[in-house]
Amino acid sequence: MKFVREFRDGEATQRCAETIAREARHHWTIMEVCGGQTHSIMRFGLDALLPPAVELVHGPGCPVCVTPLELIDKALVVASRDDVIFCSFGDMLRVPGSDGDLFTARARGADVRIVYAPTDAVAVAHKNPDKQVVFFAVGFETTAPANALALLQAHTAGLTNFSMLVSHVLVPPAVAAIARSPTCRVQGLLAAGHVCTVMGYAEYEPLAAQYRLPIVVTGFEPVDILSGILACIRQLEQGQFVVENGYGRAVRREGNAHARAMIEEVFEVTDRVWRGIGVIAESGYRLRAKYAAFDAEVRFSVEDVGARESTACRSGLVLQGLIKPNECSEFAVRCTPENPLGATMVSSEGACAAYHRYRRRAMGREVDA
């Protein structure tokens, strides 16, 4: 397939790693934002190719991982109703809430269904007019256009039995929150190519200047990621702090105008709680007032459902790049993919899941791959 083989070429990957080793004269800490990039780093052993002077830490770029506990609890309340068909992407079904997860709810009799696109949930609503169909609209900017499209389809069709439980979050405000934290260790950033395909990268430019943070938009293959690290290193060594587009085959500065217009039509910016991190101002989307009739929180009166995070799970520190997954004392002990304490061990893009899958040793213990 085009744009895969070339970017997984072993010789090109090795050359890029060797160039990084030559040019990194100081110690630098680079964060990759996206969980998909984290899994590629672990899968291909890219961190092992880097010199000791370059350290990779993992950011909050997994929408499943940062969906707050209270949203999971709201989903459980809604899904457990006899008159509801609850539709969600598969990753969300095993994210633990205060009392079980959506798989548990389904085992108890709830009609919880896995869908592969939000428009699938609209189709379910068409076929089941006697049921309330709720779609769990989770994601970063990447999934927002498809979710907006599904809502517009439901609105145009006049569906009164379709609604969304919205938990959209935005990457740039999270980057700013990490960068201004007094505990921040991040000196360079790899921005997620798929998010920037939709939104562009202009909004990263003031962040790079304000926080003196080189930001490189990258893809997800080995050469993509190492090239992004190299670009960060070169900026840091030269004292430069700008945004570079290393994913030009998919990303433009202005993003996708049609997708952005659809998002603007359906959603507005709001404060959001990030699991393990807390409230980040203006870091999410909610439905605009004109589409309030499709808001599942309002329709099912779950706005006031709250929850308290477990103190045993340290995923918040992982998501801020302050610790690695295997530095958590519960990693691969009490917290495993079969019995997760937090979402970072559940999600297919979670950093803890990546370490558990691709690294057989952690903290001196054997870990099943």
* Structural domain boundaries enclosing 143: 65-170+255-299
In this structure, is residue 366 part of a structural domain? Answer: no
Instruction: Evaluate if residue 365 carries a pLDDT over 50.
Output: no
The 10s digit of each residue's pLDDT in 65-85 is 888 889 999 999 999 999 999
Q: Which CATH number is 102's domain given?
A: 3.40.50.11740
In this structure, is residue 77 part of a structural domain? Answer: yes
**Using 50, 70 and 90 to split pLDDT, how confident is the model at 99?**
confident
In this structure, is residue 24 part of a structural domain? Answer: no
What's the confidence (pLDDT) of residue 309? 66
In this structure, is residue 146 part of a structural domain? Answer: yes
**Using 50, 70 and 90 to split pLDDT, how confident is the model at 117?**
very high
What is the rounded average pLDDT of the residues 51-71? 89
**What value does the mean pLDDT of the chain take?**
91
In this structure, is residue 189 part of a structural domain? Answer: no
What's the confidence (pLDDT) of residue 259? 97
The count of structural domains within the chain is 1
What's the confidence (pLDDT) of residue 362? 43
Instruction: Evaluate if residue 321 carries a pLDDT over 70.
Output: yes
Least confident of 93-97, 100-104, 167-171: 93-97
In angstroms, rounded to a whole number, what is the distance separating the alpha carbons of residues 203 and 247?
16
In this structure, is residue 348 part of a structural domain? Answer: no
The 10s digit of each residue's pLDDT in 152-185 is 999 999 999 999 999 999 999 999 999 999 999 9
In this structure, is residue 102 part of a structural domain? Answer: yes
What's the confidence (pLDDT) of residue 192? 93
Answer left, alpha or beta for residue 26, where phi above 0 means left and psi between -120 and 50 means alpha: beta
What is the rounded average pLDDT of the residues 340-367? 73
User: Taking the alpha carbons of 86, 90, 95, 101 in that order, is the dihedral positive or negative?
Assistant: positive
In this structure, is residue 227 part of a structural domain? Answer: no
Q: Are 336 and 346 in contact (CB under 8 A)?
A: no
What is the token pair recorded at 359?
């690294």
